[in-house]
Structure 1
Amino acid sequence: MAAMLLHGGQPWGRLCRWSNPVMQFLALTLVTFGVLVPLTCQQLLHSYFYMRSWYLNPMSHDFLQQNQEEGLSALRYFERLQPPNTSELSASQASPPWLLITIITVERQPEEFHYVLQVASRFHRLLQECGPPCRHHRVVLCNVDTDPSSHQDALLLANFFAVLDRSGSSRRDPHHLLNRFEKEKRDYAYCLEKSLQTYQPEYVLLVEDDAVPKEEIFPVLHHLLQRRFTRPHLRNALYVKLYHPERLQRYINPEPMRILEWVGVGMFWGPLLASVYAWAASRSSLSWAFVLFFALYSMLLVELVGRHYFLELRRLAPPLYNVVPATECCTPAMLFPAPSARRVLGYLKELHCRRGFAKDTALYSLLRSKGEQAFVVEPNLVRHVGMFSSVRISENPKLL
């Protein structure tokens, strides 16, 4: 027996040879998930291997510092910008817009770094760069602060954008009797309703004042609305989300619909990697065991590294963006076709929001109770910069 082991005899010698596929696959798995991926991904915020205890505090500090710099940059942007004259404003409002971008804003704390200025300056610049394809787009501000005159950033933006001011209608709401979640829902419904009544757009994009648009937002929206969303089941959607938190984009989560996508990853990469292995190992045939191993290997790799980072590859071109059934959280950027927006307004009047049933949960609940459909675009078309919530108090915010 000893002689058989020493000389690579049967059965252990054959098993322990490095040319044996079992040993090769075992070594590949150990090296990949025991060494390479942990070392590579320890600073990736949305990876399973993220070293939270090491990097979360300094990364959160750097994010806050960058946010402050971007807020000051946005402030200087509008200070240097020449306000449009009356004739220019009249010309821009001569016809109903195809896409109305309504930025919902409230006065925030000083440490919140001019969130609304960051959002408005980015939209303003992107519209200028977009040119003729965006000539039927318009940006308005919806100021829902209980004291609109105290919102200094909104007063500055009123020189450049039309403003929907809730100061008159909000007096009908007994704010001292409303919980903050119900007030937020009513503010949201007000901005949506006034956007429809005042401008009669074909689409309304409701953007919260801490959701900065990505550079490619308009080319992607044009592609989706003019091509993909011409299909009946998409055209009649109740809403389309343009943002979902990165930390909730994993395959293993409460949203089982992604399991099919995850299996698809294995079905694509399994045969491909197995074919490469068979060629490298000079094997004449492709075993199903090889395909199964590489399918599971690729599925595990994508999940542990982070689905979010692989979704980023879709930014290469607008047709690569994914449109999937909507998930519950959250509402930084929501696109409403005008007919759907009117249905939403009717539905929201029937609901009362509270802790545990905020407006995002309320909107999501309508999909089942009213038999509606909604979708989310992947990857995100806005970047959520708000680490301080206007609804939930956080004195020491973190990125996670």
Structure 2
Amino acid sequence: MKRRGDAGAGGGGAAAAALLRLLRFLLRPWAQVLLLYLLTFGLALPLLCHDLRHSRYFRRAAHLGRLTAAALEESRARGEEAARYFREAEGEDEVEGPPLRPDPRSPPPQLVVAIVTTARGQGGEYRYYLQVAAAFHRLLRQCPWCRGHRLFACNVHRRPRQHLEALAAARLVPTAHRFEEEGEGEGEGEDNLFEKEKRDYLYCLRKALTAYGPRHVLLVEDDALPREDFFPVLRDLLERRLRGREGEPLYVKLYHPERLQGYLHPEPARLLEWLGLGALGGWLLSAARRLATGRWPPWPAALLLGLWAMLAGELGGRHYLLQLRRLSPQLYALSPASSCCTPATLFPAPSARRVLAYLGAVHCRPGYAKDTALYGLLGAQGEWALVLEPNLVTHIGLYSTLRGFVGSPASEPRSPLSPPFPPLSPSSSPLPPPLPFPPLSPSPPPLPGGDIPEKHGKLTEFDPAHRGHRPGHSRASVEPGGGS
């Protein structure tokens, strides 16, 4: 019995000694850093980030189908709400006609929001264009300082009357129809959709300049949904951020794909931001250890703590760190732009004229789309461009007009979705006829610094008290259709 007691006491003493050695080991800075790495990257982040789409820990096979189906269902619901938004506008103020030329006695509008839209062969049930047009119209109506802004759309579908969404939104959004204008689209082959997309883009940019003479043009694709803080952030960008810089950029991108927002993409400004995150994170963790133990960690351990912060930011997802900047419009970041993509792009008017001349001289093709061509002009012409982060628009288009469905086919909802509108043929549609924009002059695009040709017409304004435009607040009373 005595031997058994001695053996038990010896075993307990050995366990206590082992525990004491472990505690002594954990008091060392190296051991604490190692434990922090194991708990963070082996346990905490995998548990917290496995269903975050833009995290390195995202489990694609487990969650992509569910998230895509949820996004499609949410998009369908927004589309139905947008269609209802325009249907309810039938009895309200409607647009009398497109605003063609501001009153020379009044200052030009600060901003024109121009939406480029076409009918989709796939994904029509989601009503992408109606979602975007309704969102911009609603946000402008609610914005007290946006009375100098204008909203209009360019229907670039080859058969304009078959784009029913554009016809429905024309009650509230002045709409130009490219292929109903004389000389537009002639000699344009149908086999090169990339070149057509570029020409559509230039058409809408030129139309915004000639119709309004604004100080800035925001060119938006019809699947770029604006966020709720869109116009407060844009106001800070136009009135403070850009005004304080020397010269004007060729353009400012308001969207960059989330999958390309990580720190590891070779962009100098982003690498500097990553190093700054490591320096800040390393200092904060070192300061926390000093508060806990009364001693600063040795400098190699402090470097490892900075590396921990950098790895946590990249593996957890820089996209989610950027969301902290949404706390205030002043916190949004501007950095040099990269090539992809152009769902929402802001052009100062002089830069827009140069873009018309630059892009008009290049030919787009598969592998060389308009965004690549636009980015290539920066080095070739000695220009510069910026991108705003985080994104001001959400790219909701899972169906591309160039590439079809860009999501996972297995992620589509299995339940049948309602059609975009009640069955209507273009000939029997009760929707109002498209608003008549006079044809553009067949002259080449304005050269850099050149004047914009003027057109006569009526200017309408947004009134926060009404869902539609207020024709009674027209600043110009020139008869439509007059000569220039």
Please give the TM-score of this superposition, normalised by the length of structure 1.
Answer: 0.92
CA separation of 1:328 and 1:170: change in aligned 2, threshold 3 A: farther
The correspondence for 2:88, drawn from 80, 84, 99, is: 80
- More displaced 10-residue stretch of structure 1: 107-116 or 79-88: 79-88
Higher helix share: 1
Deviation of 1:231 (Å): 2.8
Q: Equivalents in 2 of 1:149, 1:163: separation in Å?
A: 12
Q: Equivalents in 2 of 1:193, 1:243: separation in Å?
A: 22
Aligned 1:1-400 pairs, distance under 5 A:
17-81=25-89, 82-85=91-94, 96-109=108-121, 111-112=123-124, 113-131=126-144, 133-167=145-179, 168-169=181-182, 171-176=184-189, 179-233=192-246, 235-283=247-295, 285-394=296-405, 397=408
Percent identity for Structure 1 against Structure 2:
46
Q: Equivalents in 1 of 2:298, 2:282: separation in Å?
A: 11
Mapped contact 1:14–1:20 kept (Cα < 8 A): no
Q: Which amino acid aligns with 1:336?
A: F
RMSD: 2.4
| SS at structure 1 position matched to 2:51 | coil
- More displaced 10-residue stretch of structure 1: 380-389 or 158-167: 158-167
Deviation of 1:267 (Å): 1.3
Q: Equivalents in 2 of 1:73, 1:176: separation in Å?
A: 37
Query: Which residue of 1 is the match for residue 428 of structure 2?
Result: none
Q: Whose RCO is larger (CA < 8 A, sep 6+)? A: 2
Mapped contact 2:122–2:404 kept (Cα < 8 A): no
Gaps of 5+ in 2: 1-13, 412-484
Deviation of 1:109 (Å): 3.1
CA separation of 1:395 and 1:124: change in aligned 2, threshold 3 A: closer
| SS at structure 2 position matched to 1:101 | strand
Deviation of 1:289 (Å): 2.6
Mapped contact 1:387–1:397 kept (Cα < 8 A): no
Please give the TM-score of this superposition, normalised by the length of structure 2.
Answer: 0.76
Q: Which amino acid aligns with 2:93?
A: P
Gaps of 5+ in 1: none
Q: Which amino acid aligns with 1:115?
A: Y
Q: Equivalents in 1 of 2:99, 2:371: separation in Å?
A: 35
Mapped contact 2:198–2:369 kept (Cα < 8 A): yes
| SS at structure 2 position matched to 1:47 | coil
CA separation of 1:251 and 1:220: change in aligned 2, threshold 3 A: same
Q: Equivalents in 2 of 1:21, 1:86: separation in Å?
A: 70
CA distances 1:344-368 after superposition (whole Å, capped 9, x unpaired): 0110011110011000000000111
- More displaced 10-residue stretch of structure 1: 373-382 or 290-299: 290-299
Mapped contact 1:323–1:376 kept (Cα < 8 A): yes
Deviation of 1:333 (Å): 0.1
Q: Equivalents in 1 of 2:250, 2:70: separation in Å?
A: 38
